[in-house]
Amino acid sequence: MLTAENLACLRGERAVFANLSFTLAPGEALLLTGANGAGKSTLLRLLAGLLRPAEGTLRRPTPLRYLGHDDALKPAFTATENLAFTARLIGAPVTAIPRALAALNLTPLARLPARVLSSGQKRRLALARFALDGPGAAPLWLLDEPTTGLDAASVTLLGPLLAQHRTAGGMIIAATHIPLPLDAVRELAL
């Protein structure tokens, strides 16, 4: 369960948001919407523990996965090596790498260095990290514009990954400007 009560965040002297409260139960998904600069990315960073709220309280699961705007890939590493690096960090078995590559249709690119991948392929590789440790291993997924650089077919690939996570009791919070392949999703407009 995630509970946010009366959260406030300041950027300099300006309040990005204030008195923000919401809950998220296992299996639920929440889309953060709003204009550029409304605070969607800031809220995700706060939920990830990268920022502290100026006010309010936040209770969330400790194990979480966060995808920001930067794909955070090692350019010289192959797709497989990038996933192996992440697998070691999160304690996932390296035997999960082929499944993660397949989930985002990256198997044909497994031996290519990340530096030669297109922006959409890099984004899919960053998203493949979420398939490494199986549904529900990290209960909370925080996704900041996960579809950036993706074509329609690649966005469709996200559907099963997101659904499996929720079926296993996982929670998803995503900032987005376009619809995601999620059923029964709530929306929080900032």
Q: What pLDDT, on the 0 to 100 scale, is given for residue 104?
A: 97
pLDDT bracket for residue 62 (50, 70, 90):
confident
Instruction: Name the phi and psi angles at 99, rounded to 5.
Output: -65, -40
Full domain range(s) for residue 100: 2-189
Give the residue from 161, 147, 81, 146 showing the smallest Cα distance to 115.
Answer: 81
pLDDT digits (tens, 9 = 90+) for 9-35: 998 888 999 999 999 999 999 999 999
Q: What pLDDT, on the 0 to 100 scale, is given for residue 28?
A: 97
**Which residues are registered as beta bridge partners of 23?**
3
**Alpha-carbon gap, residue 32 to 176, rounded angstroms:** 6
Q: What pLDDT, on the 0 to 100 scale, is given for residue 34?
A: 92
Residue 134 has pLDDT above 80, yes or no: no
Lowest mean per-residue pLDDT among 46-50, 97-101, 134-138: 134-138
Dihedral (CA of 133, 90, 137, 82) sign:
negative
pLDDT bracket for residue 136 (50, 70, 90):
low
Looking up residue 75, the CATH number of its domain turns out to be 3.40.50.300
Instruction: Name the phi and psi angles at 33, rounded to 5.
Output: -125, 165
**Alpha-carbon gap, residue 161 to 46, rounded angstroms:** 24
Q: Please indicate, yes or no, whether the overall pTM of this predicted structure exceeds 0.85.
A: yes
- The tally of domains found in the chain comes to 1
**Alpha-carbon gap, residue 65 to 162, rounded angstroms:** 13
The mean pLDDT of the chain is 94
